[in-house]
């Protein structure tokens, strides 16, 4: 179906356009040993399939380069090298590519070339995207290199087939504690990933349960190898999440102490065995000493000891360790105001800066808490200068409406990647930190928690496909704007009718702010139902052990994280942020309650009091959610019925649910504060 094809939907082009393209696309020369190189083979198949569908005619593969108008291959192939200036070719990195239109022998030719086969594959997908978005190809001069070496997807899939925080059906990898036999859906998924130039995938949940602990053993490695092969043909390396206590749980040892020689040998043996099955295995992703997962703390060791042990085991084979920084005390006493969960990652990892192996990357969530609708950027990004770092984003909408609500996250992610940490003076953005550029680190990149499952349209909410697409585009090129990415996705997915493009683009771009309007206000977060995290629950997390509080009482609300009177969290930032967040006057409105505890009558920069802001945004958010429905309805007949109806259904559900949010939040604050709405609207 169209929904299934997602951004590999190659809609047939109008005749005039197709004609213009056809001259350069009907005769293709594929350089190199396509038969023996699976990535080149994928590149060729994708090119032929995409062109055939869009142009409505089968392109011809020529035997000699001279007969072709379109040439694809690596830059070291003589037929390609002969057409490309050496200096230009030298600008293409390992995974990069160029798309050049050249004149040769009096005729115009188009070259798609990479340094490696992977570059060729990416070049092909870029080229197809130009046709999908109806760009010109007669004068191409494109060179692209990825900003990030690692562009990774994390799956939180369990082998029983469930997906932790999954909102689009069941796993495409597993069912009933086994791998799914038929790998065709995984292949289609690999194509979708490669089309947005993602190159790494972790296929099991960071919370590694009993069965998954054995993924790194003989029992499952042959199956892992089959899946790795599917991804390999699309330039994607496979990684596994591991259980730090695996030496005990799968190896029969009595300890998992990272300094114990037997434990170290056990991991070395595992590495050897894994690479026998999967020669290009990427490495391990590790959640340790967090939310009841085992880790080095049990043995009085620190996280550098744990991560380095694993890195040393993988190093001989070229593997790496990705160690998560989502480490905090989830059993804290809510009566104890001295601990602040927001401080945990920085406090744990900053003292270890410089102690990690070269082949370890620390994976840091975008914010200091946990993927809330609004958080400041994690100060840990500015806190490490001698450690490889990776940005972790949550594509799956755990706290942002669970793919029932429309919440397009690219604008949020853009704020994160563009955030200036000032770690090495002005311009020390998160994007430059995680790419490794800022501190000249050998490894780094992006990780995103997948939002896909076995639903026909992959993401449950069809428009949530845009989050996956946008994630991939940003990981490749963080300087793209939200508008550019959105426009691309909408055109590829829904075609080029200006009304369709304009309406859907604006719906997407405004959706995060709409969702924020009717949910937890001003950066305070956490007003959700505990456990599943869907829907409003104002005090659900207030008197619990998770470190997630808003401290609302009859006088005011918010978490005092200042140095002067609060938890001292603001000191984890460099200037000017530290002072800006510390100061009640300068703190940005949208983060006010993250940093300060204020009376309901506190006046925001907007001129409104906090309480009136809460009322206004919640009434407004509900109106906006209702408008989303109307905006979508204005497109009826312009989108096929199946996709139209499926989105409409979710938007209607969102509009209803937004009312529940409004009423619970407004009523709560009305009762706490006793302050009436200036406009006399109904509050229960």
- Evaluate the omega torsion of the peptide bond into residue 207 and state whether it is cis, within 30 degrees of 0: no
| Nearest distance in Å: CB 203, ligand BDP | 16
- 105: buried, middle or exposed (CB in 10 Å: 19+, 13-18, 0-12)? exposed
In the bound state with ligand BDP, the residue whose beta carbon lies nearer, of 133 and 329, is: 329
| Nearest distance in Å: CB 629, ligand BDP | 29
* Touching ligand BDP, residues 182-201 (CB under 6 A): none
In the bound state with ligand BDP, the residue whose beta carbon lies nearer, of 150 and 629, is: 150
Contact letters (x/-) for ligand BDP, 423-462, by CB under 6 A?
A: ----------------------------------------
In the bound state with ligand BDP, the residue whose beta carbon lies nearer, of 518 and 541, is: 541
Q: Which of 95, 370, 420, 616 is catalytic?
A: 370
- The values of phi and psi at residue 659, to 5°, are -65, -40
In the bound state with ligand BDP, the residue whose beta carbon lies nearer, of 51 and 168, is: 168
| Nearest distance in Å: CB 381, ligand BDP | 17
| H/E stretch holding 500 | helix 498-518
| Nearest distance in Å: CB 551, ligand BDP | 22
* Touching ligand BDP, residues 454-513 (CB under 6 A): none
Residue 649 is among the residues annotated as catalytic for this protein: no
Q: Which of 291, 347, 484, 642 is catalytic?
A: 291
β-strands 556-557, 598-599 pairing: antiparallel
CA 36 to chain centre: 32
Residue nearest to ligand BDP (CB): 370
Of the residues 129, 151, 287, 341, which one makes contact with ligand BDP according to CB under 6 A: 287
In the bound state with ligand BDP, the residue whose beta carbon lies nearer, of 164 and 347, is: 164
User: Which residue in 142, 147, 125, 173 sits closest to 7, CA to CA?
Assistant: 125
Residue 398 is among the residues annotated as catalytic for this protein: yes
Residue 580 CA to residue 379 CA, distance in Å, equals 14
β-strands 107-114, 97-104 pairing: antiparallel
| Nearest distance in Å: CB 207, ligand BDP | 5
| Nearest distance in Å: CB 364, ligand BDP | 11
551 three-class SS:
coil
Residue carrying the six token digits 């706290």:
399
Q: What is the DSSP string of 112-160?
A: EEESSHHHHHHHHHHHHHHHHTT---TT-EEEE--S-SEEEEE--B-TT
In the bound state with ligand BDP, the residue whose beta carbon lies nearer, of 367 and 621, is: 367
Q: Which of 398, 487, 510, 616 is catalytic?
A: 398
Of the residues 31, 99, 163, 206, which one makes contact with ligand BDP according to CB under 6 A: 206
Residue 291 is among the residues annotated as catalytic for this protein: yes
- The values of phi and psi at residue 140, to 5°, are -85, 140
Of the residues 7, 220, 326, 581, which one makes contact with ligand BDP according to CB under 6 A: 326
Residues 6+ apart with CB under 8 A from 504: 463, 490, 494, 635
In the bound state with ligand BDP, the residue whose beta carbon lies nearer, of 295 and 566, is: 295
In the bound state with ligand BDP, the residue whose beta carbon lies nearer, of 369 and 635, is: 369
| Nearest distance in Å: CB 154, ligand BDP | 9
Residue 95 CA to residue 235 CA, distance in Å, equals 10
- The values of phi and psi at residue 299, to 5°, are -105, 15
SS (H, E, C) 236-295: CEEEEEECCCHHHHCCCCCCCCCCCHHHHHHHHHHHHHHHHHCCCCCEEEECCCCCCCCC
Question: Total residues at the site for ligand BDP (CB under 6 A)?
Answer: 9
Contact letters (x/-) for ligand BDP, 392-411, by CB under 6 A?
A: ------x-------------
Of the residues 371, 413, 494, 619, which one makes contact with ligand BDP according to CB under 6 A: 371
In the bound state with ligand BDP, the residue whose beta carbon lies nearer, of 292 and 335, is: 292
| Nearest distance in Å: CB 541, ligand BDP | 12
502 three-class SS:
helix
Q: Does 207 bind ligand BDP (CB under 6 A)?
A: yes
| Nearest distance in Å: CB 404, ligand BDP | 17
Q: Does 341 bind ligand BDP (CB under 6 A)?
A: no
In the bound state with ligand BDP, the residue whose beta carbon lies nearer, of 398 and 510, is: 398
| Nearest distance in Å: CB 556, ligand BDP | 28
Asked if 410 and 326 count as a contact pair (C-beta separation under 8 A), the reply is: no
Structure tokens at 96: 């990069």
Classify residue 161 by its DSSP letter: S
Q: Does 370 bind ligand BDP (CB under 6 A)?
A: yes
* Touching ligand BDP, residues 150-179 (CB under 6 A): 164-165
Asked if 670 and 421 count as a contact pair (C-beta separation under 8 A), the reply is: no
201 three-class SS:
strand
CA 467 to chain centre: 8
Where on the chain is the footprint of ligand BDP (CB under 6 A)? 164-165, 206-207, 287, 326, 370-371, 398
User: What are the residue numbers of the active site?
Assistant: 291, 370, 398
């Amino acid at each position: 179906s169209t929904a299934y094809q997602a951004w590999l939907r190659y809609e047939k082009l109008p005749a005039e356009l197709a004609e213009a393209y056809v001259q350069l696309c009907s005769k293709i020369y594929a350089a190199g040993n396509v038969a023996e190189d699976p990535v080149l083979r994928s590149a060729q198949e994708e090119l032929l399939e995409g062109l055939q569908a869009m142009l409505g005619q089968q392109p011809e593969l020529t035997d000699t380069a001279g007969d072709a108008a379109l040439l694809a291959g690596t830059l070291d192939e003589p037929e390609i090298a002969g057409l490309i200036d050496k200096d230009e070719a030298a600008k293409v990195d390992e995974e990069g590519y160029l798309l050049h239109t050249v004149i040769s022998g009096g005729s115009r030719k188009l070259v798609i070339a990479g340094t490696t086969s992977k570059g060729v594959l990416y070049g092909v997908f870029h080229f197809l995207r130009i046709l999908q978005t109806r760009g010109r190809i007669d004068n191409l001069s494109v060179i692209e290199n990825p900003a990030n070496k690692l562009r990774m997807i994390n799956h939180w899939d369990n082998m029983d087939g469930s997906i932790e925080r999954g909102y689009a059906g069941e796993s495409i990898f597993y069912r009933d504690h086994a791998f799914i036999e038929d790998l065709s859906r995984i292949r289609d998924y690999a194509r979708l990933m490669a089309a947005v130039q993602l190159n790494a995938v972790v296929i099991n949940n960071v919370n590694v349960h009993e069965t998954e602990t054995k993924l790194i053993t003989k029992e499952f490695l042959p199956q892992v190898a089959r899946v790795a092969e599917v991804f390999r043909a699309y330039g994607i390396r496979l990684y596994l999440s591991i259980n730090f206590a695996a030496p005990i749980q799968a190896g029969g040892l009595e300890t998992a102490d990272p300094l114990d020689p037997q434990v170290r040998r056990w991991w070395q043996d595992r590495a050897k065995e894994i690479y026998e099955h999967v020669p290009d295995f990427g490495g391990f992703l590790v959640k340790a000493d967090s939310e009841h997962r085992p880790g080095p703390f049990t043995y009085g060791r620190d996280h550098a000891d744990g991560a380095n042990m694993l890195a040393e085991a993988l190093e001989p084979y070229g593997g790496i360790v990705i160690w998560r920084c989502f480490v905090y005390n989830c059993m804290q006493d809510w009566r104890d105001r001295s601990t602040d969960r927001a401080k945990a990652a920085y406090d744990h990892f900053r003292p270890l800066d410089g102690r990690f192996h070269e082949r370890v990357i620390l994976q840091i969530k975008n914010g200091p808490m946990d993927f809330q609708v609004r958080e400041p950027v994690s100060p840990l990004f500015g806190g490490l200068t001698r450690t490889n770092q990776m940005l972790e984003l949550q594509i799956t909408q755990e706290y942002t409406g669970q793919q029932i609500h429309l919440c397009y996250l690219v604008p949020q992610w853009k704020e994160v990647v563009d955030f200036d940490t000032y770690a090495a003076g002005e311009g020390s953005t998160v994007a430059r930190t995680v790419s490794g550029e800022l501190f000249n680190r050998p490894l780094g990149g992006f990780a995103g928690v997948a939002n896909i499952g076995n639903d026909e349209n992959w993401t449950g909410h069809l428009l949530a496909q845009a989050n996956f697409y946008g994630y991939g585009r940003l990981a490749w090129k963080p300087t793209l704007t939200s508008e550019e990415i959105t426009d691309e996705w909408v055109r590829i997915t829904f075609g080029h009718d200006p009304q369709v493009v304009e309406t859907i683009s604006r719906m997407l771009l405004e959706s995060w702010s709409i969702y924020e309007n009717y949910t937890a206000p001003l950066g305070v977060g956490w007003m959700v139902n505990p456990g599943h995290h869907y829907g409003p629950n104002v005090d659900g997390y207030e008197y619990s052990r998770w470190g997630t509080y808003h401290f609302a009482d009859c006088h005011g609300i918010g978490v005092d994280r200042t140095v002067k009177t609060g938890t001292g969290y603001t000191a984890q930032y460099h200037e000017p942020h530290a002072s800006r967040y510390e100061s009640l006057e300068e703190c940005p409105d949208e983060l006010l309650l993250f940093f300060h505890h204020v009376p309901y009558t506190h006046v925001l920069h907007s001129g409104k009091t906090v309480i009136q802001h809460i009322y206004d945004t919640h009434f407004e958010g509900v109106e906006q959610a209702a408008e989303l429905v109307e905006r979508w309805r204005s497109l009826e007949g312009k989108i096929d019925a199946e996709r139209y109806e499926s989105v409409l259904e979710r938007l209607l559900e969102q509009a209803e649910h937004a009312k529940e949010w409004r009423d619970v939040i407004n009523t709560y604050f009305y009762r706490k504060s006793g302050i009436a709405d200036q406009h006399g609207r109904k509050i229960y």
